[in-house]
Amino acid sequence: MGKYPAEFLKIKMPLIELIDISKSYDGETVLDEFNLKIKENEFITLLGPSGCGKTTTLRILGGFVTPDTGKVIYQGKDITNLAPNKRPLNTVFQKYALFPNMNIAENIAFGLKISGKSKEYIDDKIKYALKLVNLNGYEKRSVDSLSGGQQQRIAIARAIVNEPKVLLLDEPLGALDLKLRQEMQYELIRLKKELGITFLYVTHDQEEALTMSDKVVVMNQGYIQQMGTPEQIYNEPENAFVADFIGDSNIIDGVMMEDRVVKICNHIFPCIDEGFGRNKPVDVVIRPEDIIIGKPGEGTIDGVVTSNVFIGVHYEMCIQAGGFEWLAQNTTSYPVGTHVSMRVVPDNIQIMNKPQSEDEEAMALDE
């Protein structure tokens, strides 16, 4: 095998690698031989329910927790036992950890003063950071005078003045109201583009993950369930956990009759999946927005509307059909008791193998 130039190897090397990371607390395994590669300038989100291991992963990367086994590699160097302040990373926590006895400028300058930077350098950095987070002129303000969203921006400003290669964010928007949280999502996207640094973001909020990320890592029980772009995670879930956790889904028992043909609730639906074999039990995922509702007899399966709720942009309805209660979303309202039909275009039917055991259900489905 020929040798590659050093420049080529440098380009191909991931910025960060977590290799076979395991961590337990009081005998309970939180991470089990966890592996993850992070590229430079990537916005990657760890997404999952409470207790899945996402915050522990971030804290191991930040140096606040030492893994029981495994390595943390940064640009090819082992930093597993390196102190947090020696790592080229900064962390923004959900509780912003601002110092109430200091004004905004003093909060932002804290890390720079510890590093022994000059007053001129620090003043320039404070102005730069405040401009970046759209809080020009806030130097002399007190922490208590700021809203939650403004405090969050100051916490980010304090992190970025240290010029980290990686910014770690642990559920930083969790304490904000919905409107402010959405505004801050777009601010973080803008900051990432302007700064050109790597973001590792932890959340249990699916919308946040899908809105901001280049790559989403869905976690459960210390394993990676699926990793991919927001579009891949939403449109092509690899197992029932991902399908159910990412948005609303109808997850139905089905039988793969043959390639491109699946039986659901004793009705035949054309699909696009192949390679599952003949007469094979499968899990079928159909998103509520992909169900096309019509008059009885017009679709593949008939049913009756059992509930109807208006949620702002569409109506969310339950439809009893074929012994299953389907969740459907539509801009047209069908009153409770209305008889309807449903059909789904083949591209919107996702077929998955059924897990053979509990271990397989929890195991990572790596790329």
Secondary structure in 3-state letters for 284-307: EEECHHHCEEECCCCCCEEEEEEE
- Domain holding 79, by residue range, is 6-235
Judge whether 213 lies within some domain: yes
H helices of 217-363, in order, are 230-235, 240-245, 358-362
Shared domain check, 177 and 65: yes
Number of domains in the chain: 2
User: What pTM was computed for the model?
Assistant: 0.86
pLDDT in tens, 43-102: 999 999 999 999 999 999 999 999 999 999 999 999 999 999 899 998 888 776 789 999
Number of neighbours of residue 152 by Cβ within 10 angstroms: 26
For residues 205 and 252, membership in a common domain is answered with no
**Could you tell me if 205 and 311 lie in one domain?**
no
Q: Could you read off the pLDDT of 138-174 as tens digits, one per residue?
A: 999 999 999 888 988 898 899 889 889 999 999 888 7
Domain end (from 235, 270, 286):
235
Same domain, yes or no: 229 and 257? no
Cβ atoms of 80 and 66 within 8 Å: the answer is: yes
pLDDT per position as a tens digit, 239-253 = 999 999 998 999 999
CATH of the domain at 358: 2.40.50.140
Same domain membership, residue 106 and residue 221 = yes
**171, 206, 235: which is the final residue of a domain?**
235
Do residue 344 and residue 302 come from a single domain?
Answer: yes
In a domain, 280, yes or no: yes
